C-alpha cells in the first residue's frame, strides 16, 4: 500500500535525524572532555583510550548514517515518482512536505494555508487516488 511506503520514507528520514543528533551529542562529549584532560601518571590508563573508543563509536555511527542516507535517497526518488503522478498541485505539496521533508501535520497545514482537519481530508483523498493507480497496475 502506498501509505506504508511513504510512511517508511518519513520514518527513515526521522531516524537519520535522530542518529545525527546522537552523533552531535557524542562529538560534544568528546570535545568537552578533551578540554578537561588531566596529566596522566605512567601507571594510569590514559584518558585517550576512552576518547579513542568514543571516536570509534562516532565513526561507526557516521557509517550507519551514510548508509541510511543512501537508502533514503533511493526511497525518496521512488516516492517522488509516485507523488508526481498526483493530479493536484496542493496534494503533491502536502505529500512532499509531510513525507519527504518530514514536517508535522501542523507545519504542513500552515504552509498550505489550510486547517489541519482540511489537510487530513486532502491526505485521505490523495492516498485513495494513489492506491487506485497502484491497484490498476
d(CA 109, CA 128): 19
- Provide mean pLDDT across the span 65-94: 97
Instruction: Please tell me which residue, 47 or 67, carries the higher pLDDT value.
Output: 67
More confident residue, 34 or 15: 15
Could you tell me what percent of the chain has a pLDDT over 90?
Answer: 72
Total domain count for the chain?
1
pLDDT, position 34:
47
φ, ψ at 70 (rounded to 5°): -65, -45
pLDDT of residue 47: 54
Sign of CA dihedral 89, 90, 91, 94: positive
Q: 113 φ, ψ to 5°? A: 80, 30
Query: Cα 95–73–16 angle (5° rounding)?
Result: 85
Q: What is the mean pLDDT of residues 44-70?
A: 84
pLDDT at 111: 97
Closest CA to 50 of 41, 37, 39: 37
pLDDT score at 30? 80
**83-122, pLDDT tens digit by residue?**
999 999 999 999 999 999 999 999 999 999 999 999 999 9
> Domain residues for 28?
2-135
Band the pLDDT of 43: cuts 50, 70, 90.
Answer: low
Q: What percent of the chain has pLDDT over 70?
A: 88
pLDDT, averaged across the chain: 89
Amino acid at each position: 500500500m502506498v501509505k506504508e511506503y511513504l510512511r517508511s520514507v518519513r520514518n527513515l528520514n526521522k531516524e537519520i535525524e535522530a542518529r545525527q543528533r546522537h552523533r552531535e551529542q557524542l562529538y560534544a562529549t568528546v570535545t568537552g572532555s578533551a578540554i578537561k584532560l588531566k596529566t596522566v601518571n605512567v601507571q594510569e590508563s590514559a584518558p585517550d583510550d576512552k576518547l579513542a573508543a568514543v571516536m570509534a563509536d562516532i565513526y561507526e555511527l557516521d557509517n550507519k548514517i551514510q548508509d541510511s542516507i543512501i537508502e533514503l535517497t533511493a526511497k525518496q526518488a521512488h516516492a517522488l515518482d509516485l507523488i508526481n503522478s498526483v493530479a493536484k498541485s496542493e496534494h503533491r505539496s502536502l505529500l512532499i512536505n509531510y513525507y519527504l521533508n518530514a514536517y508535522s501535520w501542523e507545519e504542513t497545514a500552515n504552509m498550505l494555508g489550510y486547517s489541519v482537519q482540511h489537510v487530513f481530508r486532502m491526505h485521505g483523498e490523495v492516498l485513495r487516488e494513489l492506491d487506485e493507480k497502484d491497484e490498476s497496475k
